[in-house]
Structure 1
């Protein structure tokens, strides 16, 4: 296909068959369960292909996590072939063939309907609501999002089938939308985030025509379902490419649409300290993912929204709000604003706030407070966050050193600390844990009462 065939205008499917000896993809690289599904569908008289991200990743030498299948069998026909199959979805009717913990997703070829008849429905803005119009493999290829995701591995001859120039784009490491970009983004605004995520994951460049409308159309994400944006945020930042994803969000004007308060805070932070800390937090997240270590969404959001929290806290304190009250109100305000954009569940937002609100307590080293903080269920995450703050300012270095040692030998560290200081340092203003405890008044014993 020529370069004009790759233009953002609507593409006419044109088949190119890449044989096994050219593309180099082997069945040994594929899930045995995906191969079982492909062969069973073929034996049942249906066309069946490995499709999408799995083919793309295999072509660039990656190892796919998921293997999806496309077929001309309807979901009901797929279910009739597999006892271990369940049908899901309303917007997109799909078949899931379950093998223990692995799920092979099987989708029927879909077509782009010319109107809202049948089982396809869009809203007034062109956003796709339902799409269950079945079609041919050519129809299915054209309606996919990016050319790199519209490649089909055929089990009968081990070739790769390309209808929209995706093979050439994969070889060129280029991410290109199929069809007219603005129309495709209006149809589903989350595709803009998906473009940023895939470019970060694959190390692909976003083709110029595909990239151009993103900043202009980014406000459309405000109309996307908050729950869907939350899931997309986790995919962006918990897949091992968080730093690259963040940089793509910034470069394409998507950050204000996804994290509006953070974007404002970063723009007003002339020193760049808040951005340095955020990027370091994402870099640490990528390292944990690479080492197969767990990453909590609560900690992730504590990092992503910390600039917004700092900005809200400074504004409240400038208004004369007492520090402790300002901390609580700032945490609530930032959480409320973000939940309106991405549906951050309370099981993550509450630990996130605890991580923030524990930060002032690290400068208080009286014996009781030290042991109380060490026993706090959120201590480990909060002290990790304190260490992360060194990326923004070295003013926390002394606290970090103290708490590193305190976790190992709390009594010895406290003894050394008390020997250095004749009296406990003044409590940081605004820390409610540092407020003096009122002495309880003892009642005068009544005559004849026991002592």
Structure 2
């Protein structure tokens, strides 16, 4: 991990004082109860405006010109200090969302539970959040929380100090002040950043109850940054997973994409299982993974996620349809085999298995139709790979979902769940010329004819069967 410029400890730093002037945080004289930040002046930290999005700088400078406070905050600051390229840049200000909209004509307000301003610059969006205050006084419950402690509405505005302590992790509560290019640290986040430690601000169990999705964020950031979870932050993860049951399935879909489509999906999967959180998201899959198949652990999901991580590292495209096809395949496959054993034909059995598993999953992690439909097509094509006679292989090649389904077949074969010879045949078939394909189909037809048992003539019915007849009948 590349460390940020090392600021002195809070005990020895002479600039440990409230920011003042130029629209900054009120001084301790005017706000004596506010926590005081560690202020790291520009020469003592590594953040440069050259590495900040031009559009984010426009938002920061414009808010500053309008006499509002303006700070870069969150993951953008954290990643810049680590030497990473931020995915996006968020701004925190004392301007209300309505005031931000008055400043920027290209602004839209979103959210009801958590009101935000989005400033649009073509395809780039700079998110602007107003400093949040203490929405719930200590020891009290209000209409902003439910009986479990989960925050339902969070539009109480406050100071930058209050805002810092309302954020989730200390490494996400660092502020870059555009007024003087200093860095403000209210929660000892710089120390945690240097030590590769992920720590919640405040009482961990209370913070998880306020928003259970923070448990998934803890796993995601630990995997993304390669950080270790602070002991107090980690301990509640083993017992509070059930709180995710109250989270909207659509929100859990978004969090699943962030977990599994960011290049560290396999590591996230393993950590989620360690804490029992994967079972809350995909209980049918977890039930299957808890059992071995023919004495071997089921490795299909792990291989699928590793393959996705590799594709992302190589800059190749990935789709949520394939991801969820991988995550849910094992319960679909098992139900499919049960239906086959009950006498269902393959196509009907796959349709029923896919429908049953998908319907149950939707109530937990809601998969939009634009992904669930191609996901089910990937599954439905798997039995068709077994059909290698006549014109069926040629027709399958023209199916719009063929390539994804073929990749899925190869993954199954690599995991030992499908026949390697079958996957190899389809690899050769799609790469072959028209004449070579015709030859492959003819050779396959000849093999099937040789395997077909011969029918004996009636005149031979009373004769004793020969050794060859016995073998043919057995085959």
Q: Shorter-chain TM-score category?
A: 0.7 to 0.9
Counterpart selection for 1:419 from 426, 431, 443: 443
TM-score of the superposed pair, with normalisation by structure 1: 0.87
The equivalences for 1:189-268 within 5 A come to 189-268=212-291
CA distance in 2, matches of 1:226, 1:238: 18
Q: Residue 13 of structure 1 contacts residue 164 of structure 1 at CA under 8 Å; is this kept in 2?
A: no
Which residue, out of 78, 82, 104, partners 1:56? 78
Runs of 4+ that moved beyond 6 A: 116-120
Q: Partners in 2 of 1:426 and 1:145 — Cα distance? A: 68
Q: Give the Cα separation in 1 of the matches to 2:108 and 2:175.
A: 23
Alpha-carbon RMSD: 2.6
Task: Call closer, same or farther: CA 1:413–1:51 in 2, change over 3 Å.
Answer: same
**Counterpart of 1:396?**
419
Identify the residue that residue 27 of structure 2 maps to in structure 1: none
Q: Distance in 2 between matches of 1:49 and 1:354?
A: 47
Q: How does 1:201-350 map to 2 (within 5 A)?
A: 201-270=224-293, 275-317=298-340, 321=344, 323-350=346-373
- Match of residue 437 from structure 1: none
Contact 1:119-1:130 at 8 Å conserved across structures: no
1:211-269 CA-partner distances (Å, limit 9, x unpaired)? 11112110111111000001111111111211111111112211100111111010012
The Cα shift of 1:278 comes to 1.3
State how far apart, in whole Å, the 2-side matches of 1:425 and 1:191 are: 61
Q: Distance in 2 between matches of 1:226 and 1:395?
A: 32
**Which 10-residue stretch deviates more, 38-47 or 320-329?**
320-329
Q: Which has the larger radius of gyration?
A: 2
1:122-144 deviation digits (Å, cap 9, x = unpaired) = 11221111111110011000011
User: Secondary structure in 1 aligned to 2:147?
Assistant: coil
In structure 1, C-alpha distance between the alignment counterparts of 2:294 and 2:173, rounded to whole Å:
44
User: In the alignment, which residue of structure 2 is the partner of 1:154?
Assistant: 177
Asked whether the 8 Å contact 1:79–1:86 carries over to 2, the reply is yes
- What SS does the corresponding residue of 1:50 show, helix, strand or coil? strand
Deviation at 1:422, TM superposition (A): 2.2
SS at match of 2:85: coil
User: Partners in 2 of 1:234 and 1:306 — Cα distance?
Assistant: 17
In the alignment, which of 97, 101, 112 is matched to residue 90 of structure 1?
112
Q: Which of 357, 378, 393 is the matching residue for 2:401?
A: 378
**1:249 and 1:140 mapped to 2: Cα distance?**
29
Cα deviation, residue 285, structure 1: 1.1
Partner of residue 53, structure 2: 31
User: Among 340, 354, 358, which residue is 2:377 paired with?
Assistant: 354
Deviations 1:100-146 (A, max 9, x none): 11111111100122359999711122111111111001100001111
2:166 is the counterpart of 1:114: no
Q: How many residues align?
A: 420
| Alpha-carbon contact 1:120-1:131 (below 8 Å) kept | no
Aligned residue among 108, 119, 136 for 2:159 = 136
Native 8 Å contact 1:91 1:129 kept in 2: yes
- Mapped to 2, the partners of 1:271 and 1:16 lie a distance apart of 58
Aligned equivalent of 1:433: none
User: Corresponding residue for 1:8?
Assistant: none
User: Partner residue of 2:64?
Assistant: 42
Report if aligned partners of 2:38, 2:185 keep a CA contact under 8 Å in 1.
yes
1:129 is paired with a residue whose SS is coil
Aligned to 1:15: 37
Looking at both structures, which has the greater relative contact order when contacts are Cα pairs under 8 Å and sequence separation is at least 6? 1
- Give me the whole-angstrom Cα distance separating, in 2, the residues matched to 1:286 and 1:272: 27
**Structure 1 position 378, deviation (Å):** 1.4
2:106 corresponds to 1:100:
no
In the aligned structure 1, how far is the partner of 2:10 from the partner of 2:113?
35
Q: Contact between 2:55 and 2:121, CA under 8 Å: does it hold in 1?
A: yes
Task: Give yes or no for contact 2:429–2:440 (8 Å, CA) kept in 1.
Answer: no
In structure 2, the CA distance between the partners of 1:80 and 1:120, relative to structure 1 (3 Å rule), is farther
| Counterpart contact for 1:109–1:137, Cα < 8 Å | yes
> What are the within-5 Å matches in structure 2 for residues 183-194 of structure 1?
183-194=206-217
CA distance in structure 1 between the partners assigned to 2:109 and 2:411 by the alignment: 45
- For residues 193-225 of structure 1, give each alpha carbon's deviation from its aligned partner in whole angstroms, at most 9, with x where no partner exists: 111111111111111111111121101111110
> TM-score, normalised on structure 2?
0.83
- TM superposition shift of 1:405: 1.7
Distance 1:78 1:298 in 2: 37
Q: In structure 2, what is the Cα distance between the partners aligned to 1:136 and 1:413?
A: 71
Conserved in 1, the CA contact under 8 Å of 2:379 and 2:405?
yes
Give the Cα–Cα distance (whole angstroms) in 1 for the partners of residues 340 and 159 of structure 2: 62
- Of stretches 416-425 and 242-251 in structure 1, the one that deviates more from structure 2 is 416-425
